[in-house]
Amino acid sequence: MKRLKVLVTGGAGYIGAHTTVELQKSGFEVVVVDNLSNSSEDVIDRIEKITGERPRFFKADCADLSAFSKVLEEVGEVDAAIHFAAFKAVGESVREPLMYYRNNLQSLINLLQILTSSAKAAIVFSSSCTVYGQPDKENLPVNENAPLKKAESPYGMTKQMCEDILEDTAKAFKDNLKVISLRYFNPIGAHDSALIGELPRGVPQNLLPFVTQTAIGKREQLNVFGNDYNTPDGSCIRDYIYVCDLAKAHVAAIKRMLYESEMMEGNIEYFNLGTGRGLSVLEVISEFEKATGVKIPYKIAPRREGDVEQVWADPSKANKILGWIAETPLDEVMKSAWLWEQRLASDS
Ligand code: UD1
């Protein structure tokens, strides 16, 4: 039987690489397009080590229409695409808004332009809980019907704008385009082989990489950004989801579009991907310490600008419709992040 082919843009990145592994494990043929702006080709070797199969890889920038089109001409028709390729650093997006708008919007527009010219297209979009901003108290945990609030950063704006672009394009191409937008909460952890994981450049902005770098002694101490929020222990609350669980949701979304598209509500759907459990920053620290036995020195620091106070997912729509659940226990997730950090240290 012919294998179905999935194009993964940004497939050498953190979530993209884990998703490529899950797709291959589920029998899909994967083609990765990545400009390696925040990753390296070494990740492709590591994916091959895990799955025994090297995904086809093209170094190209999706924001460059002619380069991207050439790749697709060479690859031929794909059955589906997952679009990860985007910049994602909130602080950087505030300093370099044009770079974010240009890259994140242009890449998606190019992908849509190329794929809508074929008879049938199915696209999974990598969105974020950032589209909800700070939900009102009565909307927590947040479900897909909660109102979208104006994003706090250009990065967040690009996710909202990309969803609008997808919505309009889905409307215009009712007969040949299917879209699923996955709104991730906070992805953490690494593949249990410790061959792929998050590779922050410079000082990590996200919490877990900072925690693991502090654990290994690369950072002196962790700053907890604020302990005077209106939460039980005063620190911010998020929904931390294991990256391999997240990756599996992409496979489920692809299968829905390819095999059960008649069950879709229209040709565009949205799903929250989270665990349903909110954890405060202080709880993350203590859960990490409990799982690994390593103490994290930390201090309370001022609030970080632009942070929302608390947000966690109601994932029941994804649980029910995609038949997917974030199943990995938190201690295993923490251990995977720690193993990855140790692996990085021993490689360097
Ligand atoms: C945000 C977005 C998320 C986006 C991500 C991209 C929201 C709710 N979430 O994640 O959608 O994909 O950026 O990077 O907008 N913290 C510390 N000390 C640190 C680092 C973080 O206390 O050194 C705290 C933060 O204040 C926050 C929590 O840890 O409360 C998580 O922070 P982070 O990992 O940066 O993710 P978000 O800001 O939630």
- In tens, the pLDDT along 26-83 reads 999 999 999 999 999 999 999 999 999 999 999 999 999 999 999 999 999 999 999 9
Site of tokens 């309009």: 168
- What CA–CA distance (Å, rounded) separates 190 from 204? 16
pLDDT at 51: 98
pLDDT digits (tens, 9 = 90+) for 175-230: 999 999 999 999 999 999 999 999 988 899 999 999 999 999 999 999 999 999 99
Which tens digits make up the pLDDT trace of 133-189? 999 999 999 999 999 998 889 999 999 999 999 999 999 999 999 999 999 999 999
Tell me what pLDDT residue 348 has: 75
101, two tokens: 């708008």
E runs forming strands in the chain: 5-9, 29-34, 56-59, 80-83, 121-128, 177-184, 186-188, 222-225, 237-238, 240-242, 268-273, 279-280, 298-301
DSSP 74-98: HH---SEEEE--S---HHHHHH-HH
Backbone angles phi, psi at 297, to 5 degrees: -70, 130
Q: Which residues contact 219 (CB under 8 A, 6 or more apart)?
A: 203, 210, 213
- Nearest 10 degrees: Cα torsion 333, 180, 43, 200: -60
At residue 201, the pLDDT reads 86
Structure-block tokens of residue 244: 């391999």
The predicted structure's pLDDT at residue 319: 98
DSSP letters spanning 118-185? SS-EEEEEEEEGGGG-S--GGG-SB-TTSPP---SSHHHHHHHHHHHHHHHHHHHTTTTEEEEEEEE-
List pLDDT tens digits, range 319-336. Answer: 999 999 999 999 999 999
Q: What is the pLDDT of residues 112-132, one digit of tens each?
A: 999 999 989 999 999 999 999
Predicted local distance difference test score (pLDDT) of residue 347? 85
- pLDDT at 152 (0 to 100): 84
What is the reported pLDDT for 119?
A: 84
CATH number of 5-191+241-274+317-324: 3.40.50.720
CB atoms within 10 A of CB 96: 15
Domain ranges within the chain, ordered by starting residue:
5-191+241-274+317-324
Q: Would you say 215 and 222 are in contact if contact means Cβ atoms under 8 Å apart?
A: no
Other CB atoms within 10 A of residue 108 CB: 26
Question: Where on the phi/psi map is residue 266: left (φ > 0), alpha (ψ -120 to 50), or beta?
Answer: left
Q: Quote the tokens at residue 230.
A: 């209106």
| pLDDT, tens digit, 9 for 90 and up, residues 253-296 | 999 999 999 999 999 999 999 999 999 999 999 999 999 999 99
CA of 272 to the centre of ligand 1 (A): 17
Query: pLDDT value at position 123?
Result: 98
CA 295 to CA 308: how far, in whole Å?
A: 27
The rounded distance, in Å, linking the Cα atoms of 304 and 282 is 15
User: d(Cα 150, Cα 157) in Å, to the nearest integer?
Assistant: 8
Q: What pLDDT is recorded for position 48?
A: 98
Matching residue, tokens 């950063």: 153
Amino acid at 306: G
pLDDT of res. 218:
96
Q: What is the mean pLDDT of residues 238-265?
A: 97
**Token duo for residue 254:** 């692809």
Residue nearest to atom 27 of ligand 1 (CA): 236
Whether 155 sits among the annotated catalytic residues: the reply is yes
Decide whether any atom of ligand 1 lies within 6 Å of the 151 Cβ.
Answer: no
Nearest to 9 by CA among 66, 55, 74, 76: 55
pTM of the complete model:
0.97
Residue 226 CA to ligand 1 centre (angstroms): 12
Q: Is the dihedral of CA 121, 122, 127, 132 positive or negative?
A: positive
Let me know: does 201 contact 14? Beta carbons within 8 Å.
no
Q: Is the CB of 210 under 6 A from ligand 1?
A: yes
User: Which residues have a Cβ under 8 Å from the Cβ of 117 and sit 6 or more positions away?
Assistant: none
Residues listed for the chain: 348
Q: How many whole angstroms from 137 Cα to the centroid of ligand 1?
A: 19
Q: Is the CB of 183 under 6 A from ligand 1?
A: no
**DSSP category for residue 310:** B
For atom 11 of ligand 1, the residue with the nearest CA is 130
Residue 2: the pLDDT is 81
Given this model, what pLDDT does residue 166 score? Answer: 98
pLDDT digits (tens, 9 = 90+) for 2-20: 899 999 999 999 999 999 9
Cα separation, 21 vs 32, whole angstroms:
11
The two structure tokens encoding residue 329: 């226990």
pLDDT value of residue 334: 98
Alpha-carbon distances of 341 from 102, 249, 279, 338, rounded to whole Å:
33, 25, 22, 5
Residue of 155, 229, 240, 242 marked active site: 155
Q: For position 67, what pLDDT does the model report?
A: 98
What's the one-letter identity of residue 147?
Answer: P
